[in-house]
Chain A
Amino acid sequence: MPTDVERWKSEVYGNEIREHLLEFAEQGWDSIPEDERDAWFERFKWWGLYHQRNGQESYFMMRIGTPNGVLTPGQTEVVAEVADEYARGPAENPIFGNGYVDWTTRQSIQLHWIKLEDIPEIFDKLESVGLSTQQACGDSWRNIVGCPVAGKDKHEHVDALPVAMELNETFKGNDDHSNLPRKWKVSITGCREGCGQGDINDLALEPATKEIDGEETRGFNIRIGGGLSRNEPRFARDIDVFVTPEQAAEVSGAISALFRDNGDRDNRYNARIKFLMDEWGAEKFRDVLQEEYVDFELETAGDDLRSEYSYNSGYADGGHSDHVGIHEQADGNYYVGLDVLVGRMGVDDTKELARVADEYGSGEIRITQRQNVIITDVPEEKLDALQDEELLDHYSPDPHPFMRGSIACTGTEFCSLSIVETKNRQVRYARWLKENVELPAGVEDFHIHLSGCTASCAQPQIADISLRGMKTRKDGEPVEALDIGLGGGLGENPNFAEWVTQRVPVDEVPGAIKNLLANFEERREGDETFREFVARTDEEDLAELVEPEETSYEDPMMHNTKRTWYPYADDDSLDASPAPTRADGTPITSDD
């Protein structure tokens, strides 16, 4: 007997979910039978919809998949319009207002407070400009990630963008690959910096060169089985396969089929391909792939570029650690990467972003895996005027390191899994740190990632400082707290953060970071980076260097935010929730 989810999937899954979704939308929230809600919510994910958490019934998060983070001219404006019209909830966020767009760590877009009844209109608007929510969530090919400046980057080894788009077109809505044992995260990059973050994806295609028939051929090496979730982080493993850009889709499909047929459908916690890789090892994986799924002889791996990887590496070795700033493109134009603190942008700012991109660039926007956005194709003579735009005062191409390095997941504001507040807290942390903490000389990249639970959506294990939601007791009261990890990062030799301290009360975390950085500066050898310092320091010593402490930072959300219907509502108690509501937002009472 399969799991509940597998049973639901065997009944209705994939493309056909859409017609049911549209029918429910037509008839309203109440038309979903109460005892079928879990099944339908699971299925809706395939079309990019997550039901929001307890206390927010009838509201959905909508994820729009933008392959490789590319928003073509005209699309950003539509995203802003949809957010303006449909992503407004019954209460306001004190920092971001009501109506905002989240740029995500998988180069996608998330909107909140979406009503079921509005979905047909939203789909129409999105699809009119080629945007889609299809397979943005669920057990299938998720949004494909890659270097966000693919095709623009001056130094890239291969332009992987056409391959990313081919993968997207081949595997979105493809019935042979629409029902996998679990989510399927794919990264493809041709750049020299490692911007694709392939190491933390189920399937990674990374730039390489291989001599084939006496000719130097540029293409990709393949790695399999990365992922951060479930307290079982893994880096993807080299399976000793090289593919040309022309072979990439065929071999990727073969690997996806191998996963479809061999992944664990009996236990969702053991279903990701990383666990199959644990079981088989890279050699058996390659053998099965070759013998049962590919019709031609696979090449062995080519020479990779991993020694050059700088992205999110925590090492000062040239290259870049993110895409913030002004950089020349291969065609002589420039791309301008803007820092969006925790990835959230109000609808008015998003409209401005679309206007500015149109006025100074080609109108294209690219989303990065660090929750930031890039305006591309800006001619050199327009750079000064672009920098004078007010938008860039708030979303800077040259931000303070604490603003630049912050990533946060959705948190208890909307998410069913999280146990602490995240986005607003990370904004408060970054602002306080900027005002109160000096970074040691020369430290320009310093990444702090805050995740609300062990699901690791903010990718906490690959940051200089990793923060993960917990609870503790302070002055006799339960309060939100964070586990603290140190020294994670990617690059040539990626490593996960060392979790050194558990349950630090949230109001003592900024003090802990301040003290930690002071201790780092005192003990620093030469110009070593924080990650290097952590790597050479004993674990017990590291724990002592953290030193949590109360400071001038005050946290207004110490209490148990998951027990509220919405943490920022005037009356936040679950009883005060207006949900579920009708399409117009009026509460549906039990008398209805």
Chain B
Amino acid sequence: MYDDTDTHSQMPDRILKVNAYTTLDLVDASATGQEFEESAFAVCNVTSPRKHPDEITLELELDWTQLDALAPHADTLTLSPEEARKLAADLEKHADRVEAEQRD
């Protein structure tokens, strides 16, 4: 007799794995819609496939225990090297601005 029952956990677990290689294991995040606005701690990770890397992914998962309107989920941006560099450059530029303000 086969035992093919679904053995997944009933309640959601984190979708993204979290370890010392995770880009940000603690970051503030929010999600806004027409009829909801939610804030939560989140995990954010940047990675690329180990097998012939051809794209960059940026993943974001808000802690599901802090969400009311949204179902537990993770979002993924799939970036080309060009897009990733553009994003990185903008992040750098704005980091500089914020740091400059903080120094003043």
By a CB distance below 8 angstroms, the chain A residues around B93 are none
B103 within 8 A of A: no
Task: Known A1-B51, A3-B51; judge A539-B11 contact (CB<8 A).
Answer: yes
- Quick one: which of A412, A454, A562 has the most chain B CB within 10 A? A454
Residues 445-463 of A, flagged 1 when their CB comes within 8 A of B and 0 if not, give 0000000011100000100
By a CB distance below 8 angstroms, the chain B residues around A419 are 18-20, 22, 25
Partner of B19, one of A3, A5, A267, A453: A453
Shortest beta-carbon distance from A531 to chain B in Å: 14
Partner of B15, one of A231, A267, A455: A231
Residues 52-92 of B, flagged 1 when their CB comes within 8 A of A and 0 if not, give 10000000000111100000000000000000000000000
A473 x B11 contact (CB < 8 A): no
A470 x B25 contact (CB < 8 A): yes
Chain B: which residue is nearest A481 at the CB level? B26
A417 within 8 A of B: yes
- Quick one: which of B12, B25, B50 has the most chain A CB within 10 A? B25
Q: Give Cα A145–Cα B19 distance, bound, in whole angstroms.
A: 26
- Quick one: which of A268, A283, A412, A499 has the most chain B CB within 10 A? A499
Task: Known A301-B1, A471-B26, A543-B65; judge A496-B19 contact (CB<8 A).
Answer: no
Task: Known A240-B2, A281-B4, A419-B19; judge A483-B11 contact (CB<8 A).
Answer: no
Shortest beta-carbon distance from A565 to chain B in Å: 14
Chain A: which residue is nearest B43 at the CB level? A470
Partner of A502, one of B2, B51, B63: B63
By a CB distance below 8 angstroms, the chain B residues around A235 are 7
Residues 9-32 of B, flagged 1 when their CB comes within 8 A of A and 0 if not, give 111111111111110011000000
Q: Give Cα A18–Cα B28 distance, bound, in whole angstroms.
A: 47
By a CB distance below 8 angstroms, the chain B residues around A231 are 13-17
Shortest beta-carbon distance from A128 to chain B in Å: 37
Partner of A418, one of B7, B13, B20: B20
Q: Give Cα A502–Cα B14 distance, bound, in whole angstroms.
A: 9
By a CB distance below 8 angstroms, the chain A residues around B17 are 230-231, 453-455
B11 x A500 contact (CB < 8 A): yes
B41 x A266 contact (CB < 8 A): no
Q: Give Cα A417–Cα B17 distance, bound, in whole angstroms.
A: 11
B50 x A417 contact (CB < 8 A): no
By a CB distance below 8 angstroms, the chain B residues around A412 are 20
Residues 528-547 of A, flagged 1 when their CB comes within 8 A of B and 0 if not, give 00000000000100010000
B25 x A471 contact (CB < 8 A): yes
- Quick one: which of B20, B21, B50, B63 has the most chain A CB within 10 A? B20
Task: Known A2-B51, A237-B4, A283-B2; judge A472-B11 contact (CB<8 A).
Answer: no
B1 x A473 contact (CB < 8 A): no
Shortest beta-carbon distance from A17 to chain B in Å: 21
By a CB distance below 8 angstroms, the chain B residues around A240 are 1-2
B49 within 8 A of A: yes
Shortest beta-carbon distance from A373 to chain B in Å: 29
Q: Give Cα A1–Cα B53 distance, bound, in whole angstroms.
A: 10
Q: Give Cα A150–Cα B20 distance, bound, in whole angstroms.
A: 38
By a CB distance below 8 angstroms, the chain A residues around B3 are 237-238, 282
By a CB distance below 8 angstroms, the chain B residues around A454 are 14, 17-19
Task: Known A266-B51, A471-B26; judge A498-B11 contact (CB<8 A).
Answer: yes
Residues 463-483 of A, flagged 1 when their CB comes within 8 A of B and 0 if not, give 000000111110000100001
Task: Known A3-B50, A5-B50, A478-B26; judge A498-B2 contact (CB<8 A).
Answer: no
Partner of A499, one of B9, B22, B49: B9
A501 within 8 A of B: yes
Shortest beta-carbon distance from A474 to chain B in Å: 11
Shortest beta-carbon distance from A333 to chain B in Å: 38
Q: Give Cα A268–Cα B26 distance, bound, in whole angstroms.
A: 26
Q: Give Cα A173–Cα B21 distance, bound, in whole angstroms.
A: 32
B13 x A4 contact (CB < 8 A): no
B18 x A470 contact (CB < 8 A): yes
B20 x A267 contact (CB < 8 A): no
B4 x A472 contact (CB < 8 A): no
Chain A: which residue is nearest B2 at the CB level? A282
Shortest beta-carbon distance from A42 to chain B in Å: 12
Shortest beta-carbon distance from B65 to chain A in Å: 5
By a CB distance below 8 angstroms, the chain A residues around B15 are 231
Chain A: which residue is nearest B15 at the CB level? A231
A1 x B52 contact (CB < 8 A): yes
| A401-460 interface with B by 8 A CB criterion | 412, 415-419, 453-455
Residues 66-108 of A, flagged 1 when their CB comes within 8 A of B and 0 if not, give 0000000000000000000000000000000000000000000
Shortest beta-carbon distance from B97 to chain A in Å: 22
By a CB distance below 8 angstroms, the chain A residues around B1 are 238, 240, 301
Task: Known A267-B50, A539-B11; judge A282-B18 contact (CB<8 A).
Answer: no
Residues 39-70 of A, flagged 1 when their CB comes within 8 A of B and 0 if not, give 00000000000000100000000000000000
Q: Give Cα A4–Cα B64 distance, bound, in whole angstroms.
A: 34
Chain A: which residue is nearest B12 at the CB level? A499
A502 x B18 contact (CB < 8 A): no
B21 x A496 contact (CB < 8 A): no
Chain B: which residue is nearest A471 at the CB level? B26
Add 8 more A-B contacts to A237-B4, A454-B17 (CB < 8 A).
Answer: A453-B19, A454-B18, A470-B26, A473-B26, A478-B26, A499-B14, A503-B41, A503-B63
13 A-B pairs in the complex with CB atoms less than 8 angstroms apart? A237-B7, A238-B1, A268-B50, A416-B20, A417-B19, A418-B19, A454-B19, A470-B18, A471-B25, A496-B9, A502-B66, A503-B63, A543-B65
Binding site for B on A (CB under 8 A): 1-5, 53, 230-231, 233-235, 237-240, 266-268, 281-283, 301, 412, 415-419, 453-455, 461, 469-473, 478, 483, 495-503, 539, 543, 562
- Which 6 residue pairs across A and B have the least CB separation, nearest first? A471-B26, A453-B19, A238-B3, A417-B19, A454-B17, A498-B11
Binding site for A on B (CB under 8 A): 1-4, 7, 9-22, 25-26, 41, 49-52, 63-66
